[in-house]
Structure 1
Amino acid sequence: MAITGCSLCIKYTLFFFNFIFWVTGWGVFILGIALWLRHDTQTSNLLMLNFEGNQAPGTFYISVYVLIAVGAVMMCVGFLGCYGAIQESQCLLGTFFTCLVVLFACEVAAGIWGFINRDTISTELINFYDAAYIKAVDPVDTPTRQAASKIMVAFHNTLECCGKEDDNPLFLNVQASLCPNKKEDPIVSCHIKLRDLFTEKLHVVGLAALAIAVIMVFEMIFTMVLCCAIRNAAAAY
């Protein structure tokens, strides 16, 4: 026996939402945001740097990879919601609901992790910058100093900053070579620029995750109501 009334409305609402997920919408959109964050010039230019055998800390990418995974899975899971709703299949809808719960739990866990580590991401890269800074201002010209200078120039050109506002006389001696594109006066600290950069990126990640979470909650509610309506209709028949 087919469902009727409000349950029928929920059926097509669920189908519509999942059709958007599957064919044109949020899964692709979220995946696109994640890939943009992963390959954004500013972050990729900095996080690909290597100094004395140590890669620049890539903790930021953990949250991005979670978004990539969620976006990719949502495109696949959307098919279950679409087909399950239109076929009024409790099995498919139950599987869809389970997938949503798992994805939602992963998002909550990633959100908690991101909140706890929101300062760690920029702090790790600041420490990496400072390690190169110490070597770059060394008065003795060594291969290590030359490598550190290249790291510093990469930071300064990417972030449009120069130094860390510590008035180090050793830095002032090499400032012209380490900050070839310095345009602003007073000089903008790279510490400030790094914090601002990752605060901005994490806000994008947070907004994308929040949008997914809100839609998932509605999807889970609609799926549960539709499953109950299908079961009741079958029992009545």
Structure 2
Amino acid sequence: MGLGGCYAILKYLLVLLNLIFALLGIAGTVFAIWMLVDPSFSLSLTQDYIISVVIILIASLLLLVVAIFGIVGALKESQCALTTFFCLLLIIFVAEVSAGVWVHINRDSLKLQIKNAVELTVEQEYYTSDNRKAIFDTFQQKLQCCGAKAASDWIGNKKVVLTVTSNQENYSIPMSCCREGTTMEDCKKATLNIKPTSSIDYTAIYDKGCYYAIMTKLEELSWVLIVGIVLAVIQILGLIFALILAFAVNRSNRYKA
């Protein structure tokens, strides 16, 4: 005989919560994979950030597993599955809170890492491989930015493009810095063979540095905080419901015995 009354309501509420967990797990998995493969993000990801994204991926997959235990435990009224669900969800909850606190404490350090990564690309790594060059070009075009803090940062690149002139005092800016709609002629004029003393043509070139573009992009993701709070509330409810049901199932089993 199954649980009745309020326990039956709790059982189906727990199933509903776990369906939400499953959807969030799928969303988190897709988001983490996107972060790892999208050029706009993969270029700026330092080793610490890559580890963080991988952790998000693992946590999302684990959340899917937890959802399965929760649904099975609730529908089958299995104390073992409910206990497993409770323990796994508690681990995830503690890990999420710890990660949130760590990010908050180290937010300035993380910003500095992004800044250093973008500057390193502009100053040293842009011309080291065609793949990195192509990725950063895509990065500048998609975020509509140029250089680390400004287009003039390209003067500090260790390998100045000298296809137009042998005068090493001149430098070039990647054509990916050109604004959308700029003609090829105007783009070349604004990016090739620039004298350090010359002013940059910002009517043809993006005037925003890529570091600032990244920060703006991240600030636009403030909705993630709201989602995190909602998720935390749902997880707490899941823990409470699972604990109540586990005790109810245990008591029901004792009566049957």
Which TM bucket (shorter chain)? 0.7 to 0.9
Question: In the alignment, is residue 123 of structure 1 matched against residue 120 of structure 2?
Answer: no
Q: Distance in 1 between matches of 2:11 and 2:69?
A: 13
Percent of aligned positions that are identical: 28
Which residue of structure 1 lines up, in the alignment, with residue 35 of structure 2?
Answer: 37
Q: How does 1:106-145 map to 2 (within 5 A)?
A: 106-134=95-123
TM-score (norm. length: structure 1): 0.73
Q: How does 1:26-175 map to 2 (within 5 A)?
A: 26-44=24-42, 46-47=43-44, 57-134=46-123, 146-147=127-128, 150=133, 156-163=140-147, 164-165=149-150, 170=155, 173-175=170-172
Q: Distance in 1 between matches of 2:96 and 2:17?
A: 19
Q: After TM superposition, which residue ranges in structure 1, 4 or more long, deviate above 6 angstroms?
A: 166-169
Larger Rg: 2
Aligned partner letter, 1:26? L
Question: In the alignment, is residue 224 of structure 1 matched against residue 243 of structure 2?
Answer: yes
> What's the RMSD between the two structures over aligned residues?
3.4
Q: Structure 1 80/147 Cα, relative in aligned 2: closer, same or farther at 3 Å?
A: closer
5+ residue gaps, structure 2: 157-168, 180-201
Measured against aligned partners, the alpha-carbon deviations of 1:109-150 in whole angstroms (never above 9, x if no partner) come to 111122223233332232233345456xxxxxxxx8954995
Measured against aligned partners, the alpha-carbon deviations of 1:171-212 in whole angstroms (never above 9, x if no partner) come to 69425x3354322547112331232234445x4654554443
Which residue of structure 1 lines up, in the alignment, with residue 195 of structure 2?
Answer: none
Do the aligned residues in 2 keep the contact of 1:157 with 1:179 (CA within 8 Å)?
no
| Higher RCO (CA < 8 A, seq sep 6+) | 1
Do the aligned residues in 1 keep the contact of 2:151 with 2:207 (CA within 8 Å)?
no
Range with greater deviation from structure 2 (125-134 or 214-223): 125-134
Aligned residues: 216
Q: Structure 1 15/182 Cα, relative in aligned 2: closer, same or farther at 3 Å?
A: same
2:212 is aligned, of 183, 192, 195, to: 192
Aligned partner letter, 1:105? V
Q: Structure 1 133/93 Cα, relative in aligned 2: closer, same or farther at 3 Å?
A: closer
Q: Structure 1 126/101 Cα, relative in aligned 2: closer, same or farther at 3 Å?
A: same
- The structural deviation recorded for 1:86 is 1.7
Q: Distance in 1 between matches of 2:57 and 2:66?
A: 14
5+ residue gaps, structure 1: 48-55, 136-143
Q: Distance in 2 between matches of 1:155 and 1:173?
A: 25
Higher helix share: 1
